[in-house]
Chains A and B, each alone.
Chain A
Amino acid sequence: MTSGRSLGFYLLLAPVLLWLALLVIIPHVDLALVSLRERVGVGQYALSPANYLTFLNEPLYLVTFARTAVMSILATIITLIIGFPVAYYIAKMARGKLQPILFVLCLVPFWVSELVRTFGWMILLRETGIISSLLQWLGLVSGPVELLYNDAAIMIGLVYTSMLFMVVPLVTTLSSLDDSLIEAGYDLGGSSASVFREIIVPHAMPGIVSGCIVVFMLSLGNYLTPIMLGGKDSLWFTELIYSQFIVRFNWELGAAFGFMLLFLSTAIVWTALKLSGQSLEKTMG
């Protein structure tokens, strides 16, 4: 009886373990080993921390990482600021059929590939694009304006791409907020601001935290949007990894970059959780 149950238990567990082992652990271990190799000759490698030292000693790489992190944090904050009212409207104010319709509208951009979405933004923002033409037609500007190829364009692209991942957890937590708590807040003399600050935000905190983590990670790991919308100065960290792996054939340095990205982004998320007094368990539980 006991052995039968434990067999069933392990059978059920097997897919998860296999998935973890084959798709998460083994590739990471392999990548870690690659990152610790240094090329000493044609087809010859030695164990060495050289790749990590390269990362730490080359200001270009550190600066690029810092830039990517700061931009991603900014994108996360903007997404939160835009996403919160949207989520609040969907969860609390939209009635009847409007709710699922609005939800689907948030989902629509994901029916096309990221590439197409990004091209869409390029069509809108480019010098000969729709917005520029519209502004000229309205007489607001005298000549064509270039809205593409700068950091603002990257920001628009990142926020647009991430919106759903912020709105979904927020809608989930906000729908679980009992309306009577909000009413009680007003009833006891609270203003909209204090109800928002003391009741809505604390309740939505798990959604805010998980939304922010997902959006931050997605932005940090985004490749297409910064490359296509970004200007000639807009170096993104994933672009460095891509070029090390694909263009330079330098897998060793690329793997080291990958691990630095993993460590540093984990550190940033951890710090942010500590600063906001949240924990991952609270968020997930």
Chain B
Amino acid sequence: METPDLSCIDLTKRFGDAVAVDNVSFEVPAGSFFSILGPSGCGKTTIMRMIAGFLEPTSGDIQIKGQSVLNVPPNKRPVNMVFQHLALFPMMNIADNIGYGLRRQGLGKLEIEKKVDEALDRIGLPGIGKRQVNELSGGQKQRVAIARCMVLEPDVLLLDEPLGALDLKLREQMKIELKSLQHAFDTTFVYITHDQSEALVMSDSIAVMNAGQFEQVAGPEDLYYRPETAFVAGFVGDANIVKGQVVRSSGHDVELRTEYGTHIKGVSKTRDMAAGRAAEIFVRPEAIRLAKSADEVAELDNFLSGKVEQTLFNGAASRVLVKADTSGETIEVGLPQSGRFDGIRPGQEVHFGWSDKQSNVFETGGL
């Protein structure tokens, strides 16, 4: 197998008694877009700062292209970082910002100019070299910050939530742009974020991090549809979370009774769960099929009927809250924007159902 661009081995960082990063190992193959996704305070920034060299690991190793960089100071590591607030130098113009690292490498003036112009072309902003940092828009600054790193041709580019400061529209646009920039530069990106949508859209591989540990490392689809832990299931995407007890279990198939008394079929990662164990069922709203008649959903593993309590219009991600007739629990169901359900009103009777593959069951421990 090819040597990964970045690998972290048993990486641990303690601040006093607190463990910020707890024995984390991962590998990032060359040319891939790797994201670390997690809530704030989960330790993802600490990992990034250790890779960049601003923090020293308590134990473990960091290797870039197979070489340990533990004793290499930040200014000598073949790694560059795009900071959260970009950290463009306001005392220099754009060309000087991009040329900063090249000057440090001792390149000639003409060569620097050439490389800076090339970089500006690559990011689609030719001819802005003489402008000041504060004359650029948020998106332009973003691209300049990336170009400033990329002219140095690092083995790994680290990005520390660089989209956090942008407004929503621009953020959506930049997600796509970042992905294509990564393709264009063909460099390994390590991206940290707390925004699951950023991670899902851009990444080849995502590590979900919680409390200093990686919960799951997987591609976006696996992460979304086949979460391995309750944390991942809850953190990535939306889900109806229902508490219940295992009634019977065979292999990965489980049947549960919810606290409201409804029986639900699902799948679990753990085989043969003991009857009576407490568990949580995660069902994504968009995985639930909505129907006007019971026949339409009758062939699904789980089906219920209920009354619409509320509609939540949000374009493609619109939902209805349905109160189940039999048990009285409220379920969030995706509202298809195909036109069939136009004019759906609270109080209306609806039917809905989903396959057992769409209910992920996780033990919560205890009986």
A and B touch in their complex, CB below 8 angstroms: yes
Shortest C-beta distance, B44 to chain A (Å), equals 16
Which residue from B81, B91, B92 sits with its C-beta under 8 Å from A187? B81
Structural contact, A199 and B74, CB atoms closer than 8 A: no
A164 to B161, CA, bound (A): 39
Structural contact, B84 and A189, CB atoms closer than 8 A: no
A194 to B100, CA, bound (A): 10
Contact with B along A154-192 (1 / 0, CB 8 A): 000000000000000000000000101101111111110
Let me know if B152 is at the binding interface, CB within 8 A.
yes
Q: What residues of chain A lie closer than 8 Å to B53, measured between beta carbons?
A: 186-187
A198 to B100, CA, bound (A): 9
Structural contact, A188 and B83, CB atoms closer than 8 A: no
Let me know if A117 is at the binding interface, CB within 8 A.
no
Task: Given A190-B75, A191-B104, A194-B104, decide whether A184 and B91 contact each other with a Cβ distance below 8 A.
Answer: no
A236 to B182, CA, bound (A): 66
Let me know if B351 is at the binding interface, CB within 8 A.
no
Q: 8 Å CB contacts to A: which residues of B66-121?
A: 73-76, 79-81, 83-85, 87, 89-92, 100-101, 104-105
Task: Given A183-B54, A183-B74, A202-B91, decide whether A188 and B100 contact each other with a Cβ distance below 8 A.
Answer: yes
Which residue from B84, B90, B91, B148 sits with its C-beta under 8 Å from A188? B148
A186 to B87, CA, bound (A): 12
Shortest C-beta distance, A19 to chain B (Å), equals 36
A178 to B87, CA, bound (A): 8
Which of chain B's residues has its CB closest to A182's CB?
A: B87
Structural contact, B80 and A180, CB atoms closer than 8 A: no
Shortest C-beta distance, A103 to chain B (Å), equals 26
Shortest C-beta distance, B181 to chain A (Å), equals 18
Let me know if A67 is at the binding interface, CB within 8 A.
no
Interface bin, chain B: 20 to 34
A188 to B100, CA, bound (A): 7
Structural contact, A188 and B54, CB atoms closer than 8 A: no
Let me know if A203 is at the binding interface, CB within 8 A.
yes
Q: What residues of chain A lie closer than 8 Å to B76, measured between beta carbons?
A: 189
A166 to B100, CA, bound (A): 30
Which residue from A183, A190, A191, A203 sits with its C-beta under 8 Å from B100? A190
Contact with A along B4-41 (1 / 0, CB 8 A): 00000000000000000000000000000000000000
Task: Given A183-B74, A199-B91, A203-B91, decide whether A188 and B52 contact each other with a Cβ distance below 8 A.
Answer: no
Shortest C-beta distance, A285 to chain B (Å), equals 14
Structural contact, A189 and B87, CB atoms closer than 8 A: no
Which residue from B52, B89, B92, B152 sits with its C-beta under 8 Å from A189? B152
Task: Given A183-B54, A183-B74, A199-B91, decide whether A188 and B152 contact each other with a Cβ distance below 8 A.
Answer: yes
Q: 8 Å CB contacts to B: which residues of A24-39?
A: none
Which residue from A184, A189, A202, A203 sits with its C-beta under 8 Å from B83? A184
Structural contact, B75 and A181, CB atoms closer than 8 A: no
Let me know if B42 is at the binding interface, CB within 8 A.
no
Q: What residues of chain A lie closer than 8 Å to B85, measured between beta carbons?
A: 178, 180
Structural contact, A190 and B84, CB atoms closer than 8 A: no
Q: Select the residue from A189, A190, A198 with max chain B CB neighbours within 10 A.
A: A189
A178 to B133, CA, bound (A): 15
Shortest C-beta distance, A14 to chain B (Å), equals 38
Shortest C-beta distance, B74 to chain A (Å), equals 5
Q: What residues of chain A lie closer than 8 Å to B335, measured between beta carbons?
A: none
Q: What residues of chain A lie closer than 8 Å to B223, measured between beta carbons?
A: none
Which residue from B79, B83, B92, B104 sits with its C-beta under 8 Å from A183? B83
Q: What residues of chain B lie closer than 8 Å to A181, measured between beta carbons?
A: 87, 89
Q: What residues of chain A lie closer than 8 Å to B239, measured between beta carbons?
A: none
Task: Given A180-B83, A183-B74, A183-B83, decide whether A189 and B91 contact each other with a Cβ distance below 8 A.
Answer: no
Contact with A along B229-264 (1 / 0, CB 8 A): 000000000000000000000000000000000000
Shortest C-beta distance, A177 to chain B (Å), equals 10
Shortest C-beta distance, B242 to chain A (Å), equals 43
A191 to B75, CA, bound (A): 7
Task: Given A188-B104, A190-B75, decide whether A180 and B91 contact each other with a Cβ distance below 8 A.
Answer: no
A194 to B104, CA, bound (A): 8
Let me know if B149 is at the binding interface, CB within 8 A.
yes
Structural contact, A187 and B89, CB atoms closer than 8 A: no
Which of chain B's residues has its CB closest to A191's CB?
A: B75
Shortest C-beta distance, B41 to chain A (Å), equals 19
Q: Select the residue from A178, A188, A199 with max chain B CB neighbours within 10 A.
A: A188
In the complex, 25 of the A-B residue pairs with CB atoms within 8 angstroms, ordered by the A residue number, are A180-B84, A180-B85, A180-B87, A183-B54, A184-B83, A185-B89, A187-B52, A187-B53, A187-B79, A187-B80, A188-B100, A188-B148, A189-B75, A189-B101, A189-B105, A189-B152, A190-B75, A190-B101, A190-B104, A191-B75, A191-B104, A198-B91, A199-B91, A203-B90, A203-B91
18 more contacts with CB within 8 A, not counting A188-B148, A189-B104, are A178-B87, A183-B87, A184-B81, A187-B52, A187-B74, A188-B75, A188-B100, A188-B101, A188-B104, A189-B76, A189-B101, A189-B105, A190-B75, A190-B100, A190-B101, A190-B104, A191-B104, A202-B92
Residues of A within 8 A of B (CB): 178, 180-181, 183-191, 194, 198-199, 202-203
